[in-house]
Amino acid sequence: MIRFDKVLKAYGALEVLKDLDFSVEKGEVVSIIGPSGSGKTTVLRVLMTLEDIQGGTIYVDGEPLNRMDVNGQLVEASKAHVRRIRAKLGMVFQSFNLFPHMTALQNCIESPIYTQGLSKAEAVEEATRLLDMVGLADKAGHYPSQLSGGQQQRVAIARTLAMHPEVLLFDEPTSALDPEMVGEVLSVIRDLAKSGRYTILLVTHQMGFAREVSDRVCFFDAGKMVEEGVPGDLFGNPRNERLRQFLSKVLEAS
Amino acid sequence: MNRIGIVVALIAFLVGLSVATFAELRVFLPAILRGAVVTVHVATLSIALFLLLSVVAGIGRAYGAAPVRWLSVLYIEVFRGTSLLVILFWMFFVMPEFGLFLSPVAAGVLGIGLNFGAYGAEVVRGALAAVPRGQTEATIALNMSAFRRMTRIVLPQAVAIMIPGLVNLTIELVKATALVSAVTLSDITYAAVQQNQLHFRTVEIFSITLMLYYCLAQFVRFGGAALEDRFSRHRARRA
C-alpha cells in the first residue's frame, strides 16, 4: 500500500530521512516509535505531502506520489496527480488543527462538499454518522473552542474519516492531551484498527497502546529504521542497542 | 499677560456662541451639509478601493508568485512612502500633462484609495501570517484546493484578525478626505473654510465641522465592531 524507496528528506545539510526504505501492506497497522528527532513524524509529513522530499520515491498503492509516469518516464507530478493520490490518505494531527471558525459538523462536511462534490444533505448525514461513531453526536453544533482536547481530537478523526481515506496517518494523536483524555481518543483509534478497514500508520509515545493494536512496530533513530518486528518481539526482545536504551528510558518515565 | 489672554479668549468664545443664533446657523449649515454629502461620496468610494487594494496586494505579497509579489511590494513601498497630498496633486494637476484627465472625485478617490491600500495591504499580510500553519496543513490533508483553502479557511480567520487594523485605517481615511479640498472638491472642510470667509463664524463653523467628522468616524467604528463580532463568534461564545 505504501512504499518508501530510498527517500531522502533534508533541511539544508541536516538529513532527517536518510535513504529510507520502508513499506506498509494494505490493512496493516504499523506503529512508529523512536526518540524525538528520529524522523518518525517526518515519515507521515512527507507521505501527506506537507513536506517535499529531496530524493527517492514514495509509492501509494503502486503509484508514485511525487512523480508520475508519462510514457514510461517518471516526471515531476502535476497538482491533479498529487491530489488524486492524496485522496487515499488521511491525517490526524498532534494539535488537532480543527477549523476554529466552524462547528464540529461544519468541520466534517467542508471538504466532502467542496472537494468530493457531495450534496450538503449527504455530507451532513455522513458527518452525523461519524460524529456519533466517535461519541460526539450531541456536540455537532459546538465550536472547537467549546470542546475539550479529547473531544476536539475525536472530531478531527471524524473529519478525516469523512473523506473516506484508505490510509490513516496518526501523528502523536494523544501527545497534546491531558492524561484523563488520552483514553477516549485511543479507544476510537483502537476501534478503527480492529475494524480492519484501514491501513494505519501511527506515530506514538504510548508504548502500551502500540503493543496492543499494532501488527508491526518500527523503531526509528537518526533518520533510519533501525529495527522492526511484531510487537511482542520488538518490545520483549529488542536486539538493537539504541532500542534497548530507548525502551528502558521510556519505561523509566512511565 | 497670559491670564488676560485666557480671559479675552473665553469672553470671545462666549460672545461668539451667544451671537450664533439659529437663524444664523441656517445661513451656513446647508452649505456645510452639502459638503458632507461630497465627503461621504468620496469616502465611500475610497474605502471600497482601499479595501480591494489591501486584500489584493496583501495576498499578493504573502502568497503570490515572484512577479506578483514584486509588484505588490513595489506598490506598497511607493504609496506608503509618499505624501497623500502630493499624490493628490499628481492625480489632478500632473497627470493631465501626460494626457490623463481625471475628474476631481476620481482623482481624490484614486489618490486616497491607492495611499491607504498600501497601508492596508500590510495589515492584511500580517493577519494572513497570524493564521496558524496547522490550518493550511489540515486543508492539505483534507485534499482541499488552494482556492478553497484561501476562501474558506485562511481568509475567514485572517479577517477576524485584520478588522481592528482596517477599521483604524478606515477612520483615518474618512478624516484624510479633508485633503480633497486641495483638488477643488467642495467637501466638508472646503465648505467650512468658504462659509467662514463669508460669515466669520469661526467657532461655530469649525465646531460643527469637528462634530461632523466625529460622527462619520463613529459610523465606521460601529460598523467595524459589528463585523468583528460577526467574525469572532466562535471565540466569544462558550458552552
B136-156 pLDDT tens trace = 999 999 999 999 999 999 999
Mean pLDDT calculated for residue range A130-158: 95
Q: Do A101 and B134 touch (CB under 8 A)?
A: no
Q: How many CB atoms are located within 10 Å of the residue B224 CB?
A: 17
Helices (H) and strands (E) in chain A, counts: 9, 12
Would you place residue B9 in the very low, low, confident or very high pLDDT band (cuts 50, 70, 90)? confident
A78: phi > 0 → left, psi -120 to 50 → alpha, else beta; which? beta
Q: Tell me the nearest-neighbour CA distance from B151 into chain A, angstroms.
A: 12
pLDDT recorded at residue B18: 63
Q: Do B140 and A144 touch (CB under 8 A)?
A: no
Would you say residue B237 has pLDDT above 50?
no
Would you say residue A141 has pLDDT above 90?
yes
Instruction: Record the pTM.
Output: 0.81
Would you place residue B19 in the very low, low, confident or very high pLDDT band (cuts 50, 70, 90)? low
- The chain A residue lying nearest B239, using CA atoms, is A146
- Give all strands (DSSP E) within A150-246, no chain letters: 167-171, 199-203, 216-221, 224-229
Nearest to B130 by CA among A46, A144, A155, A100: A100
pLDDT recorded at residue B239: 38
- The chain A residue lying nearest B136, using CA atoms, is A97
Pairing of strands A199-203, A29-33: parallel
Q: Which residue has the higher pLDDT, B4 or A131?
A: A131
Rounded Cα gap, residues B140 and A83, in angstroms: 9
Cα–Cα distance list, A14 to A20, A63, A203, A224 (Å): 15, 28, 21, 13
pLDDT tens digits, A59-99: 999 888 877 777 777 777 788 888 999 999 999 999 999 99
Grid cell, residue B165, equals: 487594523
Would you say residue A171 has pLDDT above 50?
yes
Mean pLDDT calculated for residue range A155-170: 96
pLDDT tens digits, B24-53: 777 788 888 899 999 999 999 999 999 999
Q: Tell me the nearest-neighbour CA distance from B144 into chain A, angstroms.
A: 6
pLDDT recorded at residue B21: 55
Choices 3.40.718.10, 3.40.50.150, 3.60.110.10, 3.40.50.300: CATH for A2-88+166-253: 3.40.50.300
pLDDT tens digits, A36-56: 889 899 999 999 999 999 988
Which of A50, A97, A103 would you mutate first to test chain B, the one with the most B CBs within 10 A?
A: A97
pLDDT recorded at residue B203: 84
Q: How many CB atoms are located within 10 Å of the residue B103 CB?
A: 12
> Residue A98 in contact with residue A152, Cβ under 8 Å?
yes
Give me the CATH topology for the region B2-234: MetI-like fold (1.10.3720)
Q: Do B148 and A99 touch (CB under 8 A)?
A: no
> Residue B60 in contact with residue B67, Cβ under 8 Å?
no
pLDDT recorded at residue B231: 83
Q: Is B147 touching A (CB cutoff 8 A)?
A: no
For chain A, domain boundaries? 2-88+166-253, 98-164
ipTM of the predicted assembly exceeds 0.95: no
Q: Do B134 and A87 touch (CB under 8 A)?
A: no
Q: Do A100 and B239 touch (CB under 8 A)?
A: no
Rounded Cα gap, residues A118 and A127, in angstroms: 12
Average pLDDT of every residue of chain A: 92
Nearest to B147 by CA among A100, A157, A114: A114
Q: Tell me the nearest-neighbour CA distance from A86 into chain B, angstroms.
A: 7
Would you place residue B211 in the very low, low, confident or very high pLDDT band (cuts 50, 70, 90)? confident
Q: What percent of chain A has pLDDT over 70?
A: 100
Would you place residue B1 in the very low, low, confident or very high pLDDT band (cuts 50, 70, 90)? low
Q: Is B230 touching A (CB cutoff 8 A)?
A: no
Would you say residue B17 has pLDDT above 80?
no
Average pLDDT of every residue of chain B: 89
Q: Which residue has the higher pLDDT, A31 or B12?
A: A31
Q: Tell me the nearest-neighbour CA distance from B6 into chain A, angstroms.
A: 57
> Residue B118 in contact with residue B76, Cβ under 8 Å?
yes
Q: Which residue has the cell 485572517?
A: B158
> Nearest 5 degrees, angle CA A241-CA A242-CA A243?
90
Rounded Cα gap, residues B180 and A233, in angstroms: 81
Would you say residue B236 has pLDDT above 60?
no
